[in-house]
Every structure is written in C-alpha cells, then in structure tokens.
Amino acid sequence: MATTKHAIEEDDVVALRVPLGPWPAGTTGTAVSLYEGSALVEVAEDDPPGSALDNLLNVPFEQLELRWSGRTGWADGWKPDGSPNGRDHAAKRSTTSE
C-alpha cells in the first residue's frame, strides 16, 4: 500500500498511525516541536488520565499522519469534524447552487 508523505510543521494537527503506549492508532494531537526524525506531539485528551506530561509523545514522522496544516488546510479530504468517510465539498460548490 502506498502512503503519501507530508511535511509536518509545528502547530500541524497529526494522528498516530499505530498505537503508542495507552494511545490508540488514530489519536490526534498537535505537533509542538520538531526534531531530526520525529515530532513532539501534544494530545489534548484527558483519557487515559495522568499528568500533563503523559500527553506529550515523541513520535517518529513515519508513525504520524497529517490531518490539518496551517499551510494547506485539511489533508486528504478530512472534514473539520474529523470524519474520514467523506470529503468536504463545500469549497467546490458553485455559486448557483447556494
């Protein structure tokens, strides 16, 4: 299966491709710092409970999927509600259909 690689930058919203510790695949967070081959990702969820430091994950880029970028917006058709089951076609509507 081919995967699209994206350049992840600080403040981008990313999702885990694989489970990491107590966090399941698909968990989303914000890339708060970038390193040579990984990003420090802050998960904004309280589950599982723990200290705020438990919500900071150092994740290799190949285990991350870009969901939203300040440069390009929502990636790969992801809708603002996080639904992967369809594309947000609002931007493609013609003015006559509104």
CB 6 within 8 A of CB 71: no
**Domains of the chain, residue spans:** 1-79
Per-residue pLDDT tens digits for 14-58: 999 999 988 999 999 999 999 999 999 999 765 555 556 678 999
CB atoms within 10 A of CB 7: 11
- CATH 2.30.30.140 given to domain 1-79: yes
pTM here is 0.67
